[in-house]
Structure 1
């Protein structure tokens, strides 16, 4: 087999590994993302729990970078302290290293099991949570399969005369090997994928143990660079935690490299085989960084703040920002163009409503007068845009319209009205619950809060579907949105039943927050119904919606 064919097979296997890792991460985020975020915020106030939470979330998302970005956003919003954020990231790095260890075991039997079970779950049901769990299983199966493919693709390299030359070169130039590993990790955007590639190649005898340790240190450098680069244009408060991780993990890898090359300690204690030695070196490095980070967390955070401050340019006097409107009066004589303009403006309303829907659940956990005022201001913006869009569309109807244009005009007006109603529910109902909870110092039970977060996550996902339907007018998406409405009704019954069960058991927190809990579920269900109805015009146009949704008795 020619060298180019071998490299092609190896590249395909690596591509499959990256895709599988992304598949698992996406499935977890879509199915459990909001719940995991809320749980993380609730536990990160305790330093030990911050480490454990970061570790657990990294295992779930298979990405320490994702946890770093998430924790950075929390720190930037003032939700968690700098020290807790640093410790959560340290835990995330250990979690990422443990995932690598788990995947080095012989899991070949899981490939067909995960692929079959995941495919069945994904294709046999329309329930979002089951479909996403199926996606996760498929991703795990493909990830294990990709590791086998890397091993098979690299097998012909055993007979290569060039491979020993390359290995000898990097063994004699550890600094270049260190930087090359960092570059590969940055390109992969995944330390898990990078280490797994090295472990697989080491299992074929291509990487000696000493070089493997150097490569692991390079992987940790590359991984620590990813988050700072991704947040380079973010707010200063968001960038502090990623910069702190770069200081601890990136600088730590450099210090370890210098120590390793200076003293040349034996690596036999890390394991009996080279793959084990590489994995254990990866875990040991991150454990040492965690132990060093415990006493240094405050110092590193302050240093990170100063570095971010140095890189933040002082802005000149800000100009008044005028929000542009898509409602161009000169386009009224061309209905198709005017309707496109109105669609653009309605999409902006969708974006504002989505922000309101995301922020309201955050206020249930952490609210103050300024945040409440800011959310109310968003509703004022929705009201103004709603009035402007209705007036604009009324002017459009003064011109002769085709049947399709007339239907689209009515669809946009209906969507705009529903969005305005959603904003009113959030501000006039749910914001009242927030104030009541804040004033009385009430707390939900862990079970009740988890149910609310899960219910809210479903409504938020359906909102995004509704906004997509408004733009794409895709019948399949519209159908899925209406099906989700029925599933949410079933989930509401389950949530209410669980709540009443806690009331029956006399749980104090359940009694105190009962009305807020039930009213919030009711408000979210009403919001979901309004958003789902935005799919009706698309389904009706294609004959997929009857005159009545009631079944004959």
Structure 2
């Protein structure tokens, strides 16, 4: 096989691997983004839980890069604090080591099944979530296929004496071996792929124990470079997680290189075969780094926050304006600050609803993209409000202050859900409608616009209830939910009529209309839920319905 052939093949395999990673990440965010965000925002305050989650997610996604990109985005948007985000990355590195351990099994039958199942789910379009799950399976299958192709590409290289001699010269010096492995991992966007390559070289006797260990260190460093480059063009706060991960890899790598001689001698005494040394040391390295680093993460987080402060742009809608730390000394002042920030969340949610109405009216892909970016602002503000309220709750609060705190938090949670539904559900349906050029009837479009306008009106009413605590307005808001139930019933009946008439094209349009109506009804439910604490306190709301 010529050098040109090898290089062209390698480029194609890398492109295939990147495409698979992109499909998996996009599918996971579209199908499970809201739930994942909620879990990261509320359940990963414990460092050990965050580390475990990072290992599990990376093992499932087959990519620490994909995990790093998601966690970097979540941390940058304020959905998860920096300490657990760094712990997730320690777990992600362990996850890649576990993947390498299990890839010794035959997966040749797995990737065709994943690709086929993913293709069928995407073609069926049974629901937006099913389509995204299909995209996830398709991406996983493509990633496994690319790793199989990479292994196949290495086999003929092992049997070429000239190539073996050149590689032996390149990796003879441990420092050069480290740099080479880092470059290979960076180019391939996969530490798993580079570890398979290192295992193959060690298996044919090209690598000494010292060179094998050095290349494993290089692979760990190289895997931390891509997330850093991906975050380089965004806000400075998004650099904290990838820089922290890279610094962890560099410090660990430096310690290993300083003790390289004794480590290589220990590997020989333990009788580790050259081919087993790479995956076993890779796992041991990441376990030790996680054990050593876990307790130092708060200190590292403080350094990273100082080095990469939040951008100070006044036009950044996602930057909190009212959560003044000095106000925490007085709980009543702090609660007013939190309420003002939550009102900003409501303003952004209102702009998302207005934009959603325009997307369905004009089928504008650019407007769709702007709405999805806007949801990130709500998510980041929600994370900041939640942390601020948690700090307030640590103070001595009166019963009235506790009640107000829960009302503000409940309002923020429901507004965050509204943004997620618009982003993950309505915009997914709108994108499918644009891609497939599905046409809704004028009557359906008018009804969708009318529902959007009602939701905006109700959101404004919910804001007024939060501000003045008017029980009559709260009762009115909850009662309005019945109108949305009637619209949903009418949409369901229309779909059934289309099915019974045998008009398949009409059935598809009716199904899409029903999906939109149901999502808008869910938004109405969340808006109405913002006033439930008030109605429960006044005795106007029973467990199942209005009194």
Is residue 478 from structure 1 mapped to residue 423 from structure 2 by the alignment?
A: no
* Per-residue Cα deviation, 1:230-289 (whole angstroms, up to 9, x for no partner): 333444443333322222222212221222146533435788544432122221111111
Q: 1:437 to 1:521 in 2, by over 3 A?
A: farther
Instruction: Provide the rounded CA distance (Å) in 1 between the counterparts of 2:270 and 2:30.
Output: 37
Q: Does the CA contact (< 8 Å) of 1:28 and 1:60 recur in 2?
A: no
What is the match of residue 464 of structure 1? Answer: 427
Is residue 186 from structure 1 mapped to residue 191 from structure 2 by the alignment?
A: no
Instruction: Provide the rounded CA distance (Å) in 2 between the counterparts of 1:218 and 1:480.
Output: 55
What is the match of residue 295 of structure 2? Answer: 295
Q: 1:480 to 1:86 in 2, by over 3 A?
A: farther
What is the match of residue 119 of structure 2? Answer: 119
Q: Does the CA contact (< 8 Å) of 2:210 and 2:261 recur in 1?
A: no
Instruction: Provide the rounded CA distance (Å) in 2 between the counterparts of 1:91 and 1:257.
Output: 23
Q: CA deviation at 1:75?
A: 4.3
* Per-residue Cα deviation, 1:31-61 (whole angstroms, up to 9, x for no partner): 2233222212221112221211222222333
Alignment of 1:241-320 (within 5 A): 241-261=241-261, 264-268=264-268, 273-308=273-308
Instruction: Provide the rounded CA distance (Å) in 2 between the counterparts of 1:481 and 1:114.
Output: 37
Q: Does the CA contact (< 8 Å) of 2:47 and 2:84 recur in 1?
A: yes
Instruction: Provide the rounded CA distance (Å) in 2 between the counterparts of 1:376 and 1:459.
Output: 13
Instruction: Provide the rounded CA distance (Å) in 2 between the counterparts of 1:171 and 1:481.
Output: 67
Taking structure 2 as the reference length, the TM-score comes to 0.61
Is residue 54 from structure 1 mapped to residue 54 from structure 2 by the alignment?
A: yes
Q: 1:122 to 1:242 in 2, by over 3 A?
A: same
Q: 1:525 to 1:158 in 2, by over 3 A?
A: farther
Instruction: Provide the rounded CA distance (Å) in 1 between the counterparts of 2:486 and 2:267.
Output: 62
Aligned residues: 416
What is the match of residue 341 of structure 2? Answer: 371
Q: Does the CA contact (< 8 Å) of 1:183 and 1:222 recur in 2?
A: yes
What is the match of residue 531 of structure 2? Answer: none
Q: 1:284 to 1:116 in 2, by over 3 A?
A: same
| Runs of 5+ consecutive residues of structure 2 not aligned to the other structure | 319-336, 390-400, 446-474, 490-503, 512-547
Alignment of 1:459-538 (within 5 A): 459-465=422-428, 468=431, 474=434, 476-478=436-438
Is residue 27 from structure 1 mapped to residue 20 from structure 2 by the alignment?
A: no
Q: 1:182 to 1:382 in 2, by over 3 A?
A: closer
Q: 1:467 to 1:260 in 2, by over 3 A?
A: same
* Per-residue Cα deviation, 1:199-254 (whole angstroms, up to 9, x for no partner): 45555655554323211111111222333333334444433333222222222122
Q: Does the CA contact (< 8 Å) of 2:24 and 2:136 recur in 1?
A: yes
Instruction: Provide the rounded CA distance (Å) in 2 between the counterparts of 1:236 and 1:46.
Output: 25
* Per-residue Cα deviation, 1:431-468 (whole angstroms, up to 9, x for no partner): 9xx999983738999xxx99x96x97565234334665
Instruction: Provide the rounded CA distance (Å) in 2 between the counterparts of 1:8 and 1:122.
Output: 30
Q: Does the CA contact (< 8 Å) of 2:191 and 2:220 recur in 1?
A: yes
What is the match of residue 441 of structure 1? Answer: 406
Q: Does the CA contact (< 8 Å) of 1:114 and 1:138 recur in 2?
A: yes
What is the match of residue 490 of structure 1? Answer: none
Instruction: Provide the rounded CA distance (Å) in 1 between the counterparts of 2:90 and 2:110.
Output: 30
Give the match's secondary structure for 1:368: helix
Q: Does the CA contact (< 8 Å) of 1:459 and 1:528 recur in 2?
A: no
Q: Does the CA contact (< 8 Å) of 2:21 and 2:66 recur in 1?
A: no
Q: CA deviation at 1:524?
A: 10
Instruction: Provide the rounded CA distance (Å) in 1 between the counterparts of 2:486 and 2:223.
Output: 44
Q: Does the CA contact (< 8 Å) of 1:463 and 1:528 recur in 2?
A: no
Shifted more, 128-137 versus 162-171: the winner is 128-137
Alignment of 1:42-81 (within 5 A): 42-76=42-76, 78-81=78-81
What is the match of residue 162 of structure 1? Answer: 162
Instruction: Provide the rounded CA distance (Å) in 1 between the counterparts of 2:33 and 2:421.
Output: 11
Q: 1:466 to 1:125 in 2, by over 3 A?
A: closer
Give the match's secondary structure for 2:163: helix
Instruction: Provide the rounded CA distance (Å) in 2 between the counterparts of 1:527 and 1:48.
Output: 47
Q: Does the CA contact (< 8 Å) of 2:37 and 2:79 recur in 1?
A: no
What is the match of residue 4 of structure 1? Answer: 4
Q: Does the CA contact (< 8 Å) of 2:147 and 2:193 recur in 1?
A: no
Instruction: Provide the rounded CA distance (Å) in 2 between the counterparts of 1:369 and 1:522.
Output: 29
* Per-residue Cα deviation, 1:338-362 (whole angstroms, up to 9, x for no partner): xxxxxxxxxxxxxx9xx9xxxxxxx
Give the match's secondary structure for 1:478: coil
Alignment of 1:68-147 (within 5 A): 68-76=68-76, 78-147=78-147
Q: Does the CA contact (< 8 Å) of 1:118 and 1:138 recur in 2?
A: yes
Is residue 225 from structure 1 mapped to residue 195 from structure 2 by the alignment?
A: no
Q: CA deviation at 1:476?
A: 1.0
Give the match's secondary structure for 2:107: coil
Instruction: Provide the rounded CA distance (Å) in 1 between the counterparts of 2:483 and 2:93.
Output: 39
| Runs of 5+ consecutive residues of structure 1 not aligned to the other structure | 324-351, 356-366, 390-407, 486-514, 530-542
Q: Does the CA contact (< 8 Å) of 2:154 and 2:197 recur in 1?
A: no
Q: 1:465 to 1:147 in 2, by over 3 A?
A: closer
Instruction: Provide the rounded CA distance (Å) in 2 between the counterparts of 1:270 and 1:24.
Output: 39
Q: 1:382 to 1:219 in 2, by over 3 A?
A: closer
